[in-house]
Each structure stands twice: as C-alpha cells, then as structure tokens.
Amino acid sequence: MVGLFSRMVVAMTIRMPRWFVGWVSRRYVAGPTLDDAVKVMKRLSKEGACFTIDVLGEEISTMEEAQFFLEEYQRVVSAIIDNDLDSNLSIKPTAFGLLLDKDKGMENIEAIVKMAHGYDMFVRLDMEDHRVTDDTIQVMLDMHEKGLTNVGVVLQGRLFRTLDDIKSIEEKIGPNADYRICKGIYLEPEQIAHSTRQPIIDATNQCIDAMLDSGAYVGIASHDHPVINHTLTALESRGMGPGKEDPRSNAGPARKQKGPGYEFQMLLGVRGPLRRKLCNQGHTTRVYIPYGEKWYEYSIRRLKENPTIGTQVAKAFLMPWTNRP
Ligand code: FDA
C-alpha cells in the first residue's frame, strides 16, 4: 500500500512543471549557487550545527564535467575558509570521472583531497550504488597510503557486505578509519542487500556497533528513531558521549572540528527538531548541504531511484508536524 502510494507520488511529481519540483525541493536543497549554500550554513550555524557540502550532480558523461566539479569544489574549499565555516566536503567519486577515466578521476580526487588537507579539512566520499562500492573504498585506502588521511567513506547498512568491509578496512588502516554509516538510499538487488525496513535497521545498527568497536570515527547519518536510539545506547555502554574525551582504548586520533569519536548527521530540511534536540544535548550534529544548478535532475533522479522518498516528501507537506525542517 505504502509502495503504491509512493509510486503515485513519484509518478505525479516527475510530470509536474519545473517550478513545482523547485518549490518542493527548496527545503532539501540550499539553492543553485555556492552563495546560497553559504547563506544557509550561516543561518544554521546559529543552531549549533556544523556542515558537509555536496555539489549536486553525480554520474557524468564527459571529463569536462569532471573538471567542472573539481573547480567548483575548489571554490567550496575557499568559501569555507573565507567565511570561517565549520564545514567539510562530501564528494561523489563518479562526479570526478572515476567511471570514465580511472587514472584522471583519481588524479582529480587527489587534487581536491590535497587542497583540503592543506587546510586540515575532511573529505567524505559519498557512497553510490553497488557498482562503485569497491572502487570508492579503494580510493579512500589509496589516499591514506599517500598520507592523505583526511578522507573517509560512507558505508551502507543495507548491503550484506558491509560488516566484512568494516573488518577489512580495520585491518588496513585501523582506527584512522572515519565512517559515515547510513541505511543506503539505492534500492539494490535482493541478492546483495536487505530490502525491508526492520532488517535494514538491524543491519545498520550492527554496523554502528562494529565501527565503534573498531576504534573508528563514526558519523551516524539517520533520521530514524530506532537507529538514533540504538546509537545513544551504544555510546553510553562504551562511556562515550557529549563533552567526554573518547574513552575507547583503541580510538583513533582526535580530529579537528569533529565530535569525541562520533557525530550525528542529517540531511538539510529533514527532522530539524530531532537534530536540534541532539545538538542541545551536546552531540555534534552535521547537516548535509546540497546545492547546485543540477537541483532539478538531482530531485527527479532521487525520486526515481527510491520511490519511498515520495512518501516522505508527501508526508512532510501533508503532515508537517512529522518532519519539520
Ligand atoms: P527513514 O528513511 O526511515 O527516515 C526516517 C524519517 O526521516 C522518515 O519517516 C521521514 O520523516 C524522514 N526522512 C528521511 N529521509 C527523508 C527525505 N529524503 N525527505 C523527507 N523526509 C525524510 N545514502 C547513500 O546511499 N549514500 C550516501 O552517501 C548517503 N549519504 C547520506 C548523508 C547523510 C547526512 C544522510 C542523513 C543520509 C545519507 N544517505 C546516503 C541516505 C541514507 O542512506 C538514507 O536513505 C536516508 O537517510 C533515509 O534513511 P533514515 O535512516 O533517515 O530512515
């Protein structure tokens, strides 16, 4: 029933005029320009949030587009420094050309990671669908091998492989690992991923435990109460929490502009009251700020990739009390 409703919302939305999609996405996307993103961050800074910035756009078809992303992210780094913002970067390896020309793609990624490294700024590699899981993890490992340890990956709880990935990353870089863990937005084949709600939650929670036990830094990217409540209990049982130095004996190095071994992360426009509550309790809370000219393509692709977002967006508008920005 929910699936049918979601598909209806998606089918209707993608037929709507651009202005309507723009009106809906205004809440989830800072705007078309870097200036828009800076304005949103300045506003949300007053709520105690910190940020990670995403220039919209992913799989590209030419290396000229990859060059655009490299240059735009260079502008982002400068804007973060010039405006003294507490923010890092979220990049999609495919937007830098990884699937088109692996060597040049790696060169582009290394260029932005090096620039960020010069400012002690962290770079998160967003995780795309299962075709690039291995490559994305490998990019992170290669950067660490080159001494660029300001890079971490996203892992997705819904994938069966993720617990093994955590183990294998731990063997290679130990507590220098810095993760974002999320459920995973892509609807993956059922041979490789959980596809229903409770198993996805359980698997994500197991990954959070494994990451915390490995001594890694963990960014918990979820708006879902069972995941957040599990995290709060997992932190407490390990003596971790706001204002406490990370007590894990195997913990990695303290990180600039990060929490004590962990942080919560949420998307712009989603469950603001929950984020503010966690922030008021003293937890580091990071908001994911997407911006860019490609807001329309991004919104439509996200809806098509995962129609359940249709229900969430409809709920946010029809029952705003369930999801205030
Ligand atoms: P769930 O989907 O159950 O959401 C809980 C509630 O939150 C919903 O009922 C609704 O009220 C609200 N909500 C959640 N998402 C919403 C939305 N888009 N619009 C409106 N309301 C919404 N995935 C991935 O594959 N690779 C990645 O790199 C990332 N990166 C990433 C960064 C950050 C900071 C976040 C928060 C999430 C991601 N994700 C991601 C997406 C993630 O995998 C997942 O799809 C979403 O966070 C939704 O899952 P929840 O755990 O929030 O639960």
Cβ neighbours, 10 Å, residue 238 = 17
Return d(Cα 54, Cα 128) in angstroms, integer: 13
pLDDT for the residue 317: 64
The predicted-structure confidence for 113-135, as pLDDT tens digits, reads as follows 999 999 999 999 999 999 999 99
CA dihedral 168, 137, 128, 257 (to 10 degrees): 100
pLDDT score at 9:
65
Ligand 1 pocket mutation pick from 224, 264, 321 by most atoms within 8 angstroms of CB: 224
β-bridge pairing 217-221 and 151-156: unpaired
Q: Does ligand 1 come within 6 angstroms of the Cβ of 184?
A: yes
Mean pLDDT of 298-313: 71
The pLDDT of residue 2 is 47
| Structure confidence by residue, pLDDT tens digits, 99-114 | 999 999 999 999 999 9
- pLDDT for 295 equals 78
- Measure 64 CA to ligand 1 centroid, in angstroms: 31
Pick the CATH number of 31-291 from 3.30.420.40, 2.40.128.20, 3.20.20.220, 3.50.50.60: 3.20.20.220
- Tell me which residue has its CA closest to atom 43 in ligand 1: 184
- Verify whether ligand 1 is closer than 6 Å to residue 133 (CB atom): no
Tens of pLDDT, residue by residue over 179-216, are 999 999 998 999 999 999 999 999 999 999 999 999 99
Share of the chain above pLDDT 70, in %: 90
Domain residue extents for the chain: 1-29+296-320, 31-291
pTM score, two decimals? 0.93
Decide: 54 in ligand 1 pocket, CB within 6 A: no
